[in-house]
Amino acid sequence: MSKRRLPLDSPDWTPLNVLHRLVCTQTGDRRLADRDLTDAMASGRVRSMRRRIAPRADKPERELLLPSFWADYKFDGPSDIEACDGEQRLLVVERDLPPAWPLLPLKMGLRDVPFRFYGFYAWEPDCKKIFRLGVALEDTRESGQEKLAKQGRPQTIEWQKLREEIVRRCWQKGRCISPESLTLLITDLQAWHKSKFKNEPNYEDLRKFVSNGIAFLKLAGK
């Protein structure tokens, strides 16, 4: 394994929820995929990093995770808790939690889920080597674009840029500032995206995205 420092803003970082689905297909079982991914990162064979969903001035937005991090934590997912984009979350939990953990977030509430304000990523070149998923990773990206095309929706919606714009508008001095009108914010974001990227997201998709994003910011500010 190369000792060179990895660029944290590289496009070679693959979201772990994408990788988890592929390993699930490979192993045939979610729990085996949880274990194989955790072990690969704990051994240093697959390098990983995390990124804050709501950036803070006093904390780095991206952090490379040492293998020792995965000696204390593991994957447990996907759960029934939705992320900001409406997809199920891949949870990162303490290794010594009981087997009933997947039911606990629903009882405790989102506020008690560890690392709920982070996205986790794996270094794609490592994944291709360890899990032999080179072609599968490329196919996943392509099939995602094809899926959007079949649905008649834009293929180039900049969800991460929208997330950053929501944070810029609704996060001030360490707390969430709720918009006076959610409808006005959504239509304004549609117009903002169109002026920047020449297209606009579907209103209902954006409404769910904005609502979930603001909910996360409110929790982060508590």
Position 82, amino acid:
E
Residue 109: what pLDDT?
40
DSSP-based helix, strand, coil % in the chain, nearest 5: 50, 15, 35
- DSSP, collapsed to helix, strand or coil, labels residue 118 as strand
Residues of the chain scoring pLDDT < 50: 79-87, 99-113, 135-136, 139-146, 148-149, 153-154
Amino acid present at 20 = H
Rounded to whole angstroms, the Cα distance separating 222 from 220 reads 6
Contact present, 148 and 155 (Cβ < 8 Å)? yes
Where b means 16+ CB within 10 Å and e means fewer, 56-95 reads: eeeeeeeeebeeeebeebbbbbbbebebbeeeebbbbbee
Residue 67: per-residue pLDDT: 94
- Only one residue has tokens 């974001």, namely 189
At 97 the pLDDT is 56
